[in-house]
Structure 1
Amino acid sequence: MKAAWWSIGGIGVGAGVMYWSDPRSGRWRRSHLQGHAVHAAHQASGAVGIVARDLSHRTRGLFFESFRLLRSRPVDDVTLEERVRSALGRVCSHPGAIRVTSRDGTLLLEGAILYPELRRVVQRIGRVRGVRGLDNRLAPYPEPGNHPDLQGGVPRPGETWPFTQRHWSPTARLFGALGGLALTGWGFSQRGLLAAVARIGGLGLSIRALTNLDTRRLTGVGAGTRAITLHKDITVNAPVEEVFAFWSAMQNFPRFMTHVDEVRVEEDERSHWKVQGPAGLRFEWDAYITKRIPNRILAWRSAEGTAVPNSGIIHFEPTPQGGTRVDIRLAYNPPAGAIGHAFAKLLGADPKKQMDDDLLRFKSLLERGKATGHETVTREQLSPERLSPTVQ
Structure 2
Amino acid sequence: MSTVKEAVEVEVPLRAAYNQWTQFEEFPRFMEGVEEVRQLDDRHNHWTTSIGGVRREFDTEIVDQLPDDRITWRTVGGETQQRGSVRFERLDDSHTKVELTMEVEPSGLAEKGADALGVIDRRVKGDLRRFKDYVEGSGSTGGWRGRIRPGDPGSTY
- Same fold? TM cut 0.5: yes
Q: TM-score category by the smaller chain?
A: 0.7 to 0.9
Aligned twin of 1:325 = 97
Superimposed CA distance per residue, residues 312-371 of structure 1 (whole angstroms, 9 cap, x where no aligned partner): 0111110035311111110111115xx75442358x88111111111111111122x1xx
Indicate whether 1:344 and 2:117 are aligned.
Answer: no
- Structure 1 pair 245/341, CA: closer, same or farther in 2 (3 Å)? same
Could you tell me how far apart the structure 2 residues matched to 1:325 and 1:349 are? 23
Could you tell me how far apart the structure 1 residues matched to 2:46 and 2:18 are? 20
Letter in 2 for 1:351: I
CA RMSD of aligned residues (A): 2.2
More strand per residue: 2
Aligned twin of 2:81 = 309
Bigger radius of gyration? 1
- Structure 1 pair 335/342, CA: closer, same or farther in 2 (3 Å)? closer
Gaps of 5+ in 1: 1-226, 370-378
Aligned twin of 1:284 = 57
Greater RCO, CA 8 A, separation 6+: 2
Gaps of 5+ in 2: 146-157
Could you tell me how far apart the structure 1 residues matched to 2:59 and 2:44 are? 7
Letter in 1 for 2:2: I
- 8 Å CA contact 1:269, 1:288 repeated in 2: yes
Superimposed CA distance per residue, residues 256-300 of structure 1 (whole angstroms, 9 cap, x where no aligned partner): 22210000001141000011122x110110111100100101111
**Normalising by structure 2, what TM-score?**
0.83
| Alignment counterpart, residue 48 of structure 2, candidates 244, 252, 274 | 274
- 8 Å CA contact 2:88, 2:97 repeated in 1: yes
| Alignment counterpart, residue 365 of structure 1, candidates 134, 143, 146 | 134
1:97-108 correspondence to structure 2 within 5 Å = none
- 8 Å CA contact 1:302, 1:310 repeated in 2: yes
- 8 Å CA contact 1:277, 1:349 repeated in 2: no
**Normalising by structure 1, what TM-score?**
0.35
Aligned twin of 1:130 = none
Q: Which runs of 4+ in 1 moved over 6 A?
A: none
Could you tell me how far apart the structure 2 residues matched to 1:340 and 1:247 are? 29
| Alignment counterpart, residue 39 of structure 2, candidates 243, 265, 276 | 265
Aligned twin of 2:142 = 388
| Alignment counterpart, residue 4 of structure 2, candidates 212, 221, 230 | 230
Could you tell me how far apart the structure 1 residues matched to 2:133 and 2:102 are? 21
Q: How many residues align?
A: 145
Could you tell me how far apart the structure 2 residues matched to 1:297 and 1:359 are? 15
- Structure 1 pair 360/291, CA: closer, same or farther in 2 (3 Å)? same
Indicate whether 1:293 and 2:63 are aligned.
Answer: no
Could you tell me how far apart the structure 2 residues matched to 1:229 and 1:341 are? 14
More helix per residue: 1
Aligned twin of 2:150 = none
